[in-house]
Amino acid sequence: MTRPFEGIRVIDVTHVLAGPFAAYQLAVLGADVIKVEHPDEPDQSRGAGTDKALNRRNMGTSFLTQASNKRSITLDLKTEGDRAVLKKLVATADVFVENYRPGALEALGLGYEALAAVNPRLIYASFSAFGHTGPRREQTAYDHVIQATSGIMAMTGTEDVHPIKFGAPAIDYATGMTGAFALASALFQRERTGRGQRIDMAMLDVAMILMSSHLAGYLRNGVHPKPHGNKHPHATNSAYPTKSGMVMLGASNLRQQRRLWTALERPDMIKRTNDERDEDRDREAAVLAEIMLTRTADEWEEFFQARHVPAARVRTMGEALADPQIASRGVVHRHAGATEVDGGFGVPLAAFTFAHGGPRIDTPPPQLGEHNAEIRAELGFIDEAIRDVGT
């Protein structure tokens, strides 16, 4: 069954995380994604990850994460000849994604206006830290710097230990997912209008959207979101130590908190309103802290879930991946191997499934420049393709 983006060509001139991750979303849904890298200065994610041997081979796990289904060509965009190759690629493409510093590609004659002249139907997406407008447009940043800039880091941590950075680069990944949504929307729009589009994606903007309810609350009353650690404003919606491990309770609404206290045989603790829950939070927390110590986290998870009360033992990455639920959903794809990668490895696929024609991985992540000859031949550079094969 045809996948959504089969027949769509994406030129991926991005590096590190947010941009490559956005292009990856289209790749697993059938797009022909051609990754463009400098021959001497490849995507820095190729040298990053948990396997140092792979890092030295330019196939680090950070790169493997988001490079399946892509083809790789090396171009030095500071040379006229390679810029000509890129423009020829653009003429065949539907989408162009880049995350250079704002203004850098324009200086090379590869900005939106120049490439739209080559291909008026082109969707040109730029990813950057702060966007292509505004007083901070030329500043650079990574995920953790945006966490600091946006205010999201200040609200993370405990009352005593804060600010704290997220454990995962969530803003980068959210920017990639948001960017993929923007690209898909622009492609859908083009089907109706026939016109290309210019997309300006900023990590800071995404970070603000990730805090939407906190942002709206601050705009209403001027109260800064405070770090609460594992404590939620409602005691029945917080984490507690147990006989073994920690359990996160998720009795968020009034109906769920009624179920929780009923299951614990403490009907005297049931509240009728959230205001009552707020006023009695400290007492509720003390009661729960004592009760939770009577069983293990695994036992409490089974106990509460059987009674339709959200709860879970706090797990490590390894424990989470060992959960049969993950395997049943197909979130992870296993590769038997790849060029310069000895043995099998796993990568994330997608966070959703389709009944038909859904996300799928067909080819492993490419070695740097692995498809130079193939892509150049497709563009008609026969002599150069032969030369590349010879080298």
Catalytic residue numbers, as ranges: 172
Q: Which residues of 226-242 are buried (b: 16+ CB within 10 A; e: fewer)?
A: ebeeebbebbbbbbbeb
Output the six-digit token pair for 126. Answer: 């730029």
Q: How far apart are CA 8 and CA 357, in angstroms?
A: 15
In terms of phi and psi (left: phi > 0; alpha: psi -120 to 50; beta: otherwise), the region of 312 is beta
Provide the CB-side half-sphere exposure for 22 (13 A, CA).
34
Output the six-digit token pair for 66. Answer: 């988001």
Find residue 201's DSSP bridge partners: 127
Cβ atoms within 10 A of the Cβ of 248, count?
A: 19
Output the six-digit token pair for 292. Answer: 């939770």
Tokens 């120049």 found at: 114
**Mode of pairing for the β-strands spanning 345-348 and 332-335:** antiparallel
Cβ atoms within 10 A of the Cβ of 335, count?
A: 17
